[in-house]
């Protein structure tokens, strides 16, 4: 039996245009992280913010990022604490599936030192090319930490049983990926930043900045197909949707 747990690892306030191009004003969005409890091992999808962001956001994120994002991140919201609330140790985690290498998705990776990191090959390559890393706002201190790394190329069945399938959803970054989770109640797709909001999917709306807009549109259309086939899409940073998601210690039905 596969179980899915949703965990909020902080909140960010930023201009709405960061998520929906052309929109004005600001919005406060969740930083999601997910635990998948699988018979063959426990899996994290993303890892949230680095714990240092609670006390020193400028030192951890730099002046530019900290000026663009107001961080609301309290003790007990880091990934290790969220796992502990489920009576799960960081040492119990077999895999960390990284949607992509941005700081609000990989920042907590340092708290899970013994897990195997699973990323798309184009993402990992971009993260180790100085020009590509700079162009995509990657910071090696978030992800280049000595983990055993599994580089996958395209769609990948993590356990070979169809229960956890990595889906290439490129565009937001060079090798962004989403995760399809097969629950007893049906399929859930953890979209990551391939689809920030419900409106992103319904209206095919992109953020102000994307690595490849055409690829991002293709990824949104792929997510639409999965939705139309019955999958539930879990949007990357949608505060209204997040209100409807059962939070750990309750499991997602």
Task: Kindly report the three-state secondary structure assignment for every residue of 149-209.
Answer: EEEECCCEECCCCCCEEEEECCCCCCCCEEEEEEECCEEEEECHHHCCCHHHHHHCCCCCC
Q: pLDDT tens digit string along 181-233?
A: 999 999 999 999 999 999 999 999 999 999 999 999 999 999 999 999 999 99
The enclosing H or E element of 222 equals helix 213-228
**pLDDT (mean) for 126-136:** 97
Rounded mean pLDDT of the chain?
97
Q: pLDDT tens digit string along 84-96?
A: 999 999 999 999 9
State how far the Cα of 11 lies from the Cα of 62, in Å rounded to an integer.
18
Confidence (pLDDT) at 105? 98
Q: pLDDT band for position 124 (50/70/90)?
A: very high
Encode 87-104 in three state secondary structure. CCCHHHEEEEECCCCCHH
Residue 26's nearest CA partner among 205, 239, 210 is: 239
Q: pLDDT tens digit string along 141-181?
A: 999 999 999 999 999 999 999 999 999 999 999 999 999 99
**pLDDT (mean) for 6-19:** 97
Confidence (pLDDT) at 159? 98
State how far the Cα of 91 lies from the Cα of 171, in Å rounded to an integer.
32
What sign does the CA torsion over 57, 61, 63, 68 have?
A: negative
Residue 144's nearest CA partner among 181, 110, 94 is: 110
Confidence (pLDDT) at 116? 98
Confidence (pLDDT) at 195? 98
Q: What percent of the chain has pLDDT over 90?
A: 98
In the chain, the domains with their CATH numbers are 3-242 (3.60.15.10)
Q: pLDDT band for position 251 (50/70/90)?
A: very high
Query: What radius of gyration, in Å, describes the C-alpha atoms of the chain?
Result: 16
Q: Which of 27-36, 59-68, 71-80 has the lowest mean pLDDT?
A: 59-68
Confidence (pLDDT) at 139? 96
Residue 6: phi and psi, rounded to 5, are: -100, 135
**pLDDT (mean) for 49-73:** 94
Give the contacts of 18 (CB within 8 A, at least 6 positions apart).
68, 207, 208, 209
Confidence (pLDDT) at 138? 97
Confidence (pLDDT) at 231? 98
CA angle 179, 221, 195 (to 5 degrees): 50
- End-to-end alpha carbon distance in the chain: 12
Can you give the pTM of this predicted structure?
A: 0.97
């Amino acid at each position: 039996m596969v179980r899915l747990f949703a965990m909020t690892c902080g909140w960010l306030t930023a201009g709405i245009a960061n998520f929906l191009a052309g929109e004005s004003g600001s919005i406060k969005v969740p930083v999601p992280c997910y635990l998948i409890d699988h018979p063959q091992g426990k899996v994290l999808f993303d890892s949230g913010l680095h714990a240092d962001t609670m006390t020193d956001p400028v030192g951890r994120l730099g002046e530019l990022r900290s000026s663009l994002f107001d961080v609301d991140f309290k003790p007990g919201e880091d990934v290790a604490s969220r796992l502990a609330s489920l009576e799960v140790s960081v040492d119990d985690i077999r895999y960390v599936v990284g949607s992509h290498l941005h700081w609000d998705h990989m920042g907590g990776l340092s708290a899970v030192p013994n897990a195997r990191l699973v990323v798309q090959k184009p993402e990992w390559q971009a993260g180790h090319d100085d020009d590509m890393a700079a162009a995509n706002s990657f910071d090696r201190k978030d992800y280049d930490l000595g983990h055993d790394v599994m580089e996958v190329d395209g769609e990948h069945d993590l356990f070979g049983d169809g229960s956890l399938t990595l889906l290439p959803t490129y565009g937001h970054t060079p090798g962004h990926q989403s995760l399809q989770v097969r629950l007893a109640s049906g399929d859930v797709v953890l979209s990551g930043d391939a689809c920030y909001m419900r409106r992103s999917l319904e209206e095919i709306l992109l953020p102000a900045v994307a690595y490849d807009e055409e690829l991002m549109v293709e990824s949104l259309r792929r997510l639409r197909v999965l939705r139309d086939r019955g999958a539930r899409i879990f949007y990357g940073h949608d505060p209204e949707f997040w209100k409807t998601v059962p939070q750990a210690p309750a499991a997602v039905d």
